[in-house]
């Protein structure tokens, strides 16, 4: 019997309408368009406004679009995985909330929390269920409402992040298209540099945690920058080497969108020319688990069947990795 691969058969994204420009950032903190553009490459980001609007709102729109585009009956979906660090609530998982809203009734659903690497981890996990032969249609969502955990008085973090979500459909393929290989890593000592201190079981919400602004993201940018460059370059080079790939026979590098300078350095260290590197950070900022599916969505019309594609990400945890995909359509 031929090997079953998990092929991506559709991709859809959703970003909220509200555009927060660098000019608007200037009214919130001591920053300017020139600094943000030069140091990060970001010009604007999307923000999900409105009372009671969680990450699921964006996931629902992405999944609705995906079902329509792939002409899929919600009843056919076996599994939904949502990668996010900004779930609607600690539980139930956002994947369940999204599935319920779009009429997916025959699936089991769960979230994966791996910060900016969440989509990669979820994609590998979903691929394993397809490869098992037991699951035929799996939806992987990556999305975050970062504006819900960002301190808009901290200029070192607030300029970077935005809100957005994307989703892909995975289906079995026996012709060699789909997820071919992956490398994933975690290093818990990275918790010192990037975290949200309060709101979990160690420091539940109290008036003191709120006054100390501990429900917001803390980041020590420089060590994270260094680790991101080293981590992503290493896994990209290793996954290419063991699959006999190089920048000539890979069509696209799809890097996590955290900082344009990180993307450029990783591209240089892995020998990718800029025209083969997906970049949309200028319009969305860092949407955490949303960046990779939003890149695939933005570039979908340029992808060709058989393209070799390398996805890579690095984020809080630390978590990082790379996936090699052969594009299926």
8 A C-beta contact, residue 160 and residue 42: yes
How many residues touch ligand UT7 under the rule CB under 6 A: the total is: 21
| 221 near ligand UT7, rule: CB under 6 A | yes
Length of the chain: 329
- Going residue by residue from 240 to 279, which x/- string records binding to ligand UT7, judged by CB under 6 A? ------------------xx--x-----------------
Of the residues 256, 259, 280, 295, which is catalytic?
Answer: 256
| 118 near ligand UT7, rule: CB under 6 A | no
- How far, CA to CA in Å, does 272 sit from each of 240, 249, 253, 268, 310? 12, 11, 7, 6, 11
| Shortest Å distance, C-beta 183 to ligand UT7 | 18
Q: How many helices (H) and strands (E) does the chain have?
A: 11, 13
- Going residue by residue from 224 to 243, which x/- string records binding to ligand UT7, judged by CB under 6 A? xx--x---------------
Among 51, 52, 201, 222, the residue binding ligand UT7 under the rule CB under 6 A is: 222
Q: What are 140's two structure tokens?
A: 């992987």
> Does 256 qualify as catalytic in the annotation?
yes
8 A C-beta contact, residue 49 and residue 79: no
> Does 173 qualify as catalytic in the annotation?
no
> Does 286 qualify as catalytic in the annotation?
yes
**What dihedral angle (degrees, nearest 10) is formed by the CA atoms of 18, 22, 23, 24?**
50
Q: Tokens 């992808």 label which residue? A: 303
- How far, CA to CA in Å, does 121 sit from each of 111, 180, 298? 11, 14, 21
Which has the closest alpha carbon to 60: 51, 71, 68, 70? 68
When the beta carbons of 39 and 136 are compared against ligand UT7, the nearer one is 39
| 80 near ligand UT7, rule: CB under 6 A | no
Q: What are 302's two structure tokens?
A: 């340029």
Considering only residues 308-327, where is the footprint of ligand UT7 by CB under 6 A? 314-315
When the beta carbons of 96 and 265 are compared against ligand UT7, the nearer one is 265
Which range, of 5-13, 35-43, 80-88, 239-247, touches ligand UT7 by CB under 6 A?
A: 35-43
8 A C-beta contact, residue 218 and residue 197: yes
When the beta carbons of 25 and 67 are compared against ligand UT7, the nearer one is 25
Distance between CA atoms of residues 294 and 15, nearest Å: 9
Active site residues: 116, 256, 286
Q: Applying CB under 6 A, which residues contact ligand UT7?
A: 31, 35-36, 39-40, 116, 155-156, 159-160, 221-222, 224-225, 228, 258-259, 262, 286, 314-315
């Amino acid at each position: 019997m031929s090997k079953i691969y998990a092929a991506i058969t559709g991709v859809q994204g959703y970003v909220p309408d509200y555009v927060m420009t660098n000019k608007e950032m200037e009214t919130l903190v001591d920053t300017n368009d020139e600094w943000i553009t030069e140091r990060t490459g970001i010009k604007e980001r999307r923000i999900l406004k409105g009372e009671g609007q969680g990450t699921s709102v964006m996931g629902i729109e992405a999944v609705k679009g995906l079902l329509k585009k792939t002409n899929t009956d919600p009843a056919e979906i076996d599994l939904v995985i949502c990668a996010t660090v900004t779930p609607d609530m600690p539980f139930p998982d956002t994947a369940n909330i999204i599935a319920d809203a779009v009429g997916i009734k025959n699936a089991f659903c769960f979230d994966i929390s791996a910060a900016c690497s969440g989509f990669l981890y979820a994609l590998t996990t979903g691929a394993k269920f397809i490869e098992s032969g037991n699951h035929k249609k799996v939806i992987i969502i990556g999305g975050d409402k970062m504006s819900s955990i960002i301190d808009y008085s901290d200029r070192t973090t607030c300029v970077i992040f935005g809100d957005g979500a994307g989703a892909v459909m995975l289906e079995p393929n026996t012709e060699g298209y789909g997820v071919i290989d992956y490398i994933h890593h975690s290093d818990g000592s990275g918790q010192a540099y990037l975290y949200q201190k309060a709101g979990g079981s160690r420091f539940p919400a109290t008036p003191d945690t709120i006054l100390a602004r501990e429900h917001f993201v803390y980041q020590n940018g420089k060590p994270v920058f260094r680790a991101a460059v080293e981590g992503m370059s290493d896994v990209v080079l290793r996954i290419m080497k063991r699959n006999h790939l190089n920048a000539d026979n890979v069509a696209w590098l799809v890097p996590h969108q955290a900082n344009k300078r990180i993307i450029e350095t990783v591209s240089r260290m892995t020998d990718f020319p800029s025209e083969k590197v997906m970049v949309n950070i200028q319009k969305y900022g860092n949407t955490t688990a949303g960046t990779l599916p939003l890149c695939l969505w933005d570039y979908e019309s340029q992808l060709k069947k058989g393209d070799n594609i390398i996805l890579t990400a690095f984020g809080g945890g630390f978590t990082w990795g790379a996936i090699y995909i052969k594009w299926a359509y």
